[in-house]
Chain A
Amino acid sequence: MNDNPQMELDFHDIVTDPNLSRREFLKALGGGIIIFFCIGDSSVLEAQRRGRGYPEDFNAYLRIGPDGRVTCFTGKIEQGQGAITSLPQMLADEMDISPDMVDMVMGDTAQCPRDMGTFGSMTTRFFGPPLRAAGAEARKVLIELAAEQLQAPQERLATENGVVFDKENKDKKVTYADLAKGKTIERHAKEKPPVKDPSAFKVMNKPFLRRDSREKVTGKAQYAGDIRLPDMLYAKILRPPAHGAKLKRVDTSAAEKMEGVSVVRDGDFVAVLHKSPDGAAAALARIDSEFDVPAATVDDKTIFEHLLKNAGPENVRAQDGQLEEGEKQAETVVEQTYLDGYKAHAAIETHTALAQVEGSKATVWASTQTPFPLKDQIANALGFKPDDVRVITPFVGGGFGGKSAGQQAIEAARLAKAAGKPVQVMWGRDEEFFYDTFRPAAVVKIKSGITKEGKLALWDYHVYFAGDRGAAQFYDIPHHRTSSVGSAFGGGPSPHPFATGAWRAPANNTNSFARESQIDIMAAKAKMDPIEFRLKNLRDERPIRTLKAAAEKFGWKPAPAPSGRGLGVAVGIDSDTFVAQIAEVEVDKRTGKVRVKRIVCAQDMGLVINPEGAAIQVEGCITMGLGYALTEDIHFKGGMILDRNFETYELPRFSSLPKIETVLLDLPNEASHGGGEPAIITVGAVIANAIHDATGARLLQLPMTPDRVRKAIAAIA
């Protein structure tokens, strides 16, 4: 662990002239060695092939300054997931420097390579390889420069701790700082230089503490709401009481009379501005308005019926064999329907942005996971050229998919343009719960069958409105079909009464809950231990080794469920990472309250850059998973959201936490897979299966509230 005093400014927003173009900015950095990289080359063909939208033009990935410090430019943002620590680890090994020598510039559209956004557990998987290649290229350039300076052939030179030296005469050496001093070298790497072999890693695959902790424990870390500009104003915006409501009448005269208050009106968009946020809130309270609210036709209880009624055509995502044949082979066939309600992202930081408009140019500091797409949206909203808008992303106070939507930044930009002064928009918690792009409510229907020998023979899977991710099963089933109905979010008409969007491991939480619950039902029908049943029905080596690792760590003793022990198992795959979890729960049969006592999680995620960071992500996933599994559900009536704060929307708390044990399979020679999302996908199923093992009752709807658990227990009594 690198527990030495941490660099305070390793994450900087170099706020100079906000209107500089990227190239101009790099020049303004004042020389050094700058490595441009084109992510479209062969080194990152995979990212390209998957259409991840990485740039095909040359972008600066890093710069070695005259002080020998290395600046890493990335369009990725830091929302707590730890890229601010893992990316420097990569550069440190490729360049033979200490990670403390790396400064990060993240999510600044004027400086960083274009990037679609920080989501989908893609930073390590897809940005990692070209960054490592850029680091290797930088090391190559340094050796070339040193060969000239030291009058020694390149083959004889080696690098260590920021120094190039002659292997035959260690006193013959030159520091990176000296090589970069007084020079401006731009290197456009077209081909992938060789990167370090895992056997040579000194920093990667070793646990490192977060690099941003010092700023975060002292209050110095700046989030979008902490940026201050001279003469800035704070906005509060008039909101409708329900989605779909239309503004019928508004009287802003009382607010207009308040001193220091500006009222901005642009059609139905009505906002008040004041030099303090509470002043703006007081002015908003003086606005008299009336909305036409459409009659509610659906609520959180009728939503599932509504979704099924509005289901469009099926898209088959995977299939093999003949379902009829599978049904013939099966001795036992089970049909089941699973339900999942809407969930909020509920990051502790609400959506926030500060916008400054000068002439035809805008700079916006935003809490966003997608600075580059947001830049284009803001330009579009203001009628500016995309290159005249710069989005800067300070630390983000949690995203989980919710900050891929940047409505608040567009609002701030519109208001700043209207007011002619910088304007901050910081959503209140009620706005956050209203405009959130919720995880979609969904229905899954499964028909599955097993043979006399306990082999899965039939799998007919239909998911409605959750999305595809994680829908396709990975068991060895001869006759199977997986189909998906309706879009989860984005594009086309939607039967959802409000916006839905990507929520940590989108669709996969719902799909894994349904699949692994159904697998458990089949195991119980076969009277087999749930792990033995899965192992018998798996052929892919990866889930097998992952499940075995979890079982070993847990100290699993086989028994068919319900054993009364309260133990559950679930397996899943997300972002190319296999995850296996085992949970131990205690169920109060009288109240229906579930206490999760222990969760063991094993992950097959390839090369782990920072095992400490990966373990933290597992813990975060499991904790967040407890929420959707047990307590979190959005209650609504038509377009009216009834949960508007944490009082009724219950997040997991300290008292909810089980003991969490993480096993990361040691696979340093494999490519890195995703780490920010996989461990959340199985939490619903692993708890449902443990509840069944404890009580014999099967929970088919998330969240598994005490009321639902009690009813499920009563149903089997």
Chain B
Amino acid sequence: MGVIVYSKPVTGKGVHMAETIAFTLNGQPVTITTDGQRPLLWVLRTDLGLTGTKFACGQSICGACTVLVDNKAVRSCVHPVRNVAGREVRTIEGLSTNGELHPLQKAFVEHDALQCGFCTPGMILAAYSLLQENPEPTREEIIEGMDQNLCRCGAHTRIIDAIQDAAAQMKGGKA
């Protein structure tokens, strides 16, 4: 048997039931028309072209897809896009301002707190959320707060150092 391709042409309805969802993305208003049950991850990566947010487990286990919704870490791979209507979504692309790295990003660079970099956006945004809740965490609190974010390369101790350093920087009035 040869290769068979069956295609149903697109008529505008698609596989999804469309609804209109408006939210703020990295400071800019965004309105999309799509199935509200779709995971935020794929809407960000595919429809909105922001590929800094990564897919890794698809089941909210590893944290690679972490984004901020109203400054709180959210696992975008299982978060329906409908749930961000009217909210502020921040992805890794929106963390630096005018080319100036956020103290967390700077600290990750200065501590070499990454290797392959695939878990890094999720790590940084999870740390951001952690520091919002607890601006002066102890080492133990950082470990506890970050323990559900997985890294396979083994950058863990450097990530902890970077978060501690960033916390000190941020306390000094930066960001």
**A residues whose Cβ falls under 8 Å from a Cβ of B:** 3, 6, 79-82, 209-210, 212-223, 225-226, 228, 234, 252, 256-267, 274-279, 282-283, 346-350, 395-398, 400, 417-419, 426, 428-429, 612, 616, 619-624, 645-647, 651-655, 657, 659-660
Q: Which residue of B54, B61, B142 contacts A647 across the interface (Cβ within 8 Å)?
A: B61
Q: Which residue of B49, B57, B118, B142 contacts A646 across the interface (Cβ within 8 Å)?
A: B57
**Cβ A209 vs Cβ B110 within 8 A:** yes
**Cβ A426 vs Cβ B116 within 8 A:** no
Interface set, chain B 32-75, CB cutoff 8 A to A:
38-39, 42, 45-47, 49-59, 61-62, 64
A278-B1 in contact given A219-B121, A350-B55, A655-B143 (Cβ < 8 Å): no
**Cβ B57 vs Cβ A349 within 8 A:** no
**B residues whose Cβ falls under 8 Å from a Cβ of A:** 1-11, 13-16, 38-39, 42, 45-47, 49-59, 61-62, 64, 91-93, 95-96, 101, 105, 108-110, 112, 114-121, 124, 142-144, 146-160
**Cβ B117 vs Cβ A80 within 8 A:** yes
Q: How far is the CA of A79 from the CA of B118 in the complex (A)?
A: 10
Q: How far is the CA of A264 from the CA of B46 in the complex (A)?
A: 22
Starting from the known contacts A216-B114, A225-B55, 12 additional A-B residue pairs (CB-CB under 8 Å) come to: A213-B108, A217-B121, A217-B124, A219-B50, A258-B8, A265-B5, A282-B15, A347-B118, A348-B116, A398-B116, A612-B112, A646-B61
Q: Which residue of A260, A419, A652 contacts B154 across the interface (Cβ within 8 Å)?
A: A652
Q: How far is the CA of A702 from the CA of B156 in the complex (A)?
A: 23
**Cβ B3 vs Cβ A264 within 8 A:** yes
Q: How far is the CA of A622 from the CA of B160 in the complex (A)?
A: 17
Q: How far is the CA of A213 from the CA of B144 in the complex (A)?
A: 25
**Cβ A218 vs Cβ B95 within 8 A:** yes
Residue numbers in A under 8 Å from B114 (CB-CB): 80, 210, 213, 216-217
**Cβ B42 vs Cβ A277 within 8 A:** yes
25 A-B residue contacts at CB 8 Å? A209-B110, A210-B112, A213-B117, A216-B114, A217-B109, A217-B120, A218-B95, A219-B53, A259-B14, A263-B5, A265-B5, A266-B1, A276-B38, A276-B46, A277-B45, A277-B55, A279-B15, A346-B152, A348-B64, A395-B117, A397-B116, A397-B117, A417-B3, A651-B150, A653-B156
A418-B5 in contact given A277-B42, A282-B15, A619-B158 (Cβ < 8 Å): yes
Q: Which of A3, A213, A257 has most B Cβ within 10 Å? A: A213
**4 nearest interchain CB pairs?**
A219-B52, A623-B154, A80-B116, A397-B118
Smallest CB-CB separation from B57: which chain A residue? A429
Residue numbers in A under 8 Å from B5 (CB-CB): 262-265, 418-419
**Cβ B109 vs Cβ A6 within 8 A:** yes
**Cβ A217 vs Cβ B150 within 8 A:** no
Q: Which residue of A80, A222, A225, A264 contacts B153 across the interface (Cβ within 8 Å)?
A: A80
Q: How far is the CA of A252 from the CA of B5 in the complex (A)?
A: 11
A259-B11 in contact given A398-B153, A624-B152 (Cβ < 8 Å): yes
Distance in angstroms from B140 CB to nearest chain A CB is: 9
A654-B1 in contact given A348-B56, A350-B55, A395-B116 (Cβ < 8 Å): no
Smallest CB-CB separation from A226: which chain B residue? B51
Residue numbers in B under 8 Å from A221 (CB-CB): 117
Residue numbers in B under 8 Å from A283 (CB-CB): 15
Smallest CB-CB separation from A349: which chain B residue? B118
Distance in angstroms from B121 CB to nearest chain A CB is: 5
**Cβ B1 vs Cβ A267 within 8 A:** yes
Distance in angstroms from B84 CB to nearest chain A CB is: 16
A80-B115 in contact given A265-B4, A266-B3, A646-B62 (Cβ < 8 Å): yes
Q: How far is the CA of A467 from the CA of B116 in the complex (A)?
A: 28
**Cβ B95 vs Cβ A225 within 8 A:** no
**Cβ A654 vs Cβ B143 within 8 A:** yes
Q: How far is the CA of A624 from the CA of B115 in the complex (A)?
A: 13
Q: How far is the CA of A80 from the CA of B117 in the complex (A)?
A: 7
A277-B160 in contact given A216-B114, A264-B5 (Cβ < 8 Å): no
Distance in angstroms from B53 CB to nearest chain A CB is: 7
Distance in angstroms from A322 CB to nearest chain B CB is: 44
Residue numbers in A under 8 Å from B13 (CB-CB): 259
Q: Which residue of B42, B64, B154 contacts A621 across the interface (Cβ within 8 Å)?
A: B154
Distance in angstroms from B161 CB to nearest chain A CB is: 11
**Cβ A213 vs Cβ B93 within 8 A:** no
